[in-house]
Amino acid sequence: MKPQRKPEIPLFWRDPELPFIEARSISDGRKLCYSRHSHEVFSIGAITAGQSTYLHEKTRHTIATGTVVLMNPGDVHACNPIDDKPWSYIMFYVDAHWLGRVQQACGVEGFQPVPAIQSADPELFSRLLDLYRVLTDPTLQSLEKHETAIAFFVLMQQRLGQCDAPLKKASQKVERAARYINAHFLRAVRLEEICQAASLSQAYLIRAFEQHYHMTPHAYLINRRIQHAQAQLRAGQPIAAIAQQSGFADQAHFQRVFKKHLAATPGQYRQ
């Protein structure tokens, strides 16, 4: 007699600072079967290993590793195993009103249902995995997670042919955003604060800021922290104290980010 497998436990991720998105993952879905169902939110997921049956409205598909599935609010769907073969997936549930505001930066008025129900686009798949990795990383701050979510859904609109609106010039507003970061980079900064200072929507700010400064607001903030740390190191301040005052999670995090920026440890730079 074959040993009985323990039922797979789904892993859920939520963050009260990012209430517009929730994530779920399953590493072995052989014993998980779903009835046809729908959600009030927009859903997007990826098959990360194996294959499964994907039921969407009145259609039936066999999907495999690398497939991205998309469900608009109200779409009836289900994904189930095939002949007890292993498969795994990640899934995101996204507030449609929030997604609609992202779509506005792409020239779409309010939430518009996406036309595709699945995609084999490797970039979309890769970036969706990156989004899951960033969101579930406990060492990352909410600003980076928020930015990554917006960047992914702008990319989704572009890859699905729903984002061809050019950016209007907003250099003065973007510069206001940079000034706000410059004034507050030593503490945790929320995306909403930067947007309020710049009078720009979240999705538009991300696109315009990167176009103007060639980095995202979060990358700009981290770069300012590293510049500050360099000055403190030159002044002979202790590394642990610099890490704490510069907004990093701990000294190890500071060391890691510093080396990534300068290809040298803080200790090597100070010498």
CB pairs under 8 A, 24+ apart, for 222-231?
222/257, 222/261, 223/261, 224/181, 224/182, 224/185, 225/185, 225/186, 225/257, 226/257, 226/258, 226/261, 226/262, 228/185, 228/186, 229/254, 229/258, 229/266, 230/262, 230/269
Which pLDDT does position 5 carry in this prediction? Answer: 47
Which pLDDT does position 33 carry in this prediction? Answer: 67
Domain spans, the chain: 11-159, 168-271
Quickly count: other Cβ atoms within 10 Å of residue 144's Cβ: 20
Query: Residue 270 burial by CB count (10 A; 0-12/13-18/19+): exposed, middle or buried?
Result: middle
Closest CA to 261 of 233, 236, 241: 233
Which pLDDT does position 12 carry in this prediction? Answer: 93
Which pLDDT does position 71 carry in this prediction? Answer: 93
Two structure tokens written together for 11: 């892993």
Which pLDDT does position 164 carry in this prediction? Answer: 61
Spell out, as residue ranges, where the chain has pLDDT lower than 50: 1-5
Give the model confidence (pLDDT) of 158-204 as tens digits. 888 766 655 566 688 999 999 999 999 999 899 999 999 999 989 88
Which pLDDT does position 28 carry in this prediction? Answer: 80
Q: 168-271 maps to which CATH number?
A: 1.10.10.60
Q: Is-same-fold flag (11-159; 168-271)?
A: no
Closest CA to 147 of 73, 197, 227, 221: 221
One of 3.40.50.720, 3.20.20.70, 2.60.120.10, 1.10.10.10 is the CATH number of 11-159, namely 2.60.120.10
Which pLDDT does position 247 carry in this prediction? Answer: 86
* DSSP string of 142-208, one letter each residue: HHHHHHHHHHHHHHHHHHTT---PPPPP-HHHHHHHHHHHHHHTTS---HHHHHHHHT--HHHHHHH
